[in-house]
């Protein structure tokens, strides 16, 4: 629904992600969540934009860009992003010898884990759910397999 609407307005996902200071995979996650009406997974400013796009039939790409550039419409994430970057740098510098810190650093320098990161971000909310749908259980199978393999390997 929202994806088709963006296409009809000739708005590219990559372009939109840059305006909103999020990654392209995150933007796709938000689009999927919006279409599933799972609004709690969507950043507030992105949700506000999607609602604007879906509830205004007579807008065009220029209207959307104008909406994006109006400070009262879209919260500027730069301060929040700077805070997150600082937290990551602090963690890596104070825990530099841990596997987690090394992995974070590797993820920043290389792109070959991007799909795995996207998958982990997608399943992250499912890991704390008490009841899962059949589709969610299937989505978690690769993760469960990795845990099983790693646990067996560590026990050797």
* Confidence label for 75 from pLDDT (cuts 50, 70 and 90): low
Distance CA 134, CA 48 (A): 31
Element at 24 (helix H, strand E): helix 24-35
Mean pLDDT of 19-47: 92
Contacts of 123 (CB under 8 A, 6+ apart): 139, 140, 143
The 8 Å CB, 24+ separation contacts for 111-117 are 114/25, 117/25
Q: What is the pTM of this model?
A: 0.48
Distance CA 48, CA 20 (A): 12
Q: What is the per-residue pLDDT across 141-151, written as a single tens digit (0 to 9) for each?
A: 999 999 999 88
């Amino acid at each position: 629904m929202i994806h088709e609407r963006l296409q009809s307005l000739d708005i590219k996902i990559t372009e939109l992600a840059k305006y909103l200071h999020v990654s392209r995979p995150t933007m796709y996650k938000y689009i999927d969540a919006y279409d599933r009406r799972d609004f709690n997974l969507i950043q507030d400013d992105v949700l506000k934009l999607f609602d604007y796009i879906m509830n205004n039939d007579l807008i065009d790409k220029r209207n959307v860009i104008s909406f994006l550039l109006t400070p009262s419409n879209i919260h500027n994430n730069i301060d929040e992003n700077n805070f997150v970057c600082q937290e990551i740098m602090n963690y890596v510098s104070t825990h530099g010898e841990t596997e987690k810190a090394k992995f974070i650093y590797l993820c920043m320098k290389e792109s070959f884990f991007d799909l795995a990161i996207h998958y982990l971000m997608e399943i992250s909310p499912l890991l704390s759910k008490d009841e899962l749908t059949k589709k969610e259980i299937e989505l978690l199978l690769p993760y469960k397999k990795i845990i099983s393999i790693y646990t067996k390997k560590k026990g050797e």
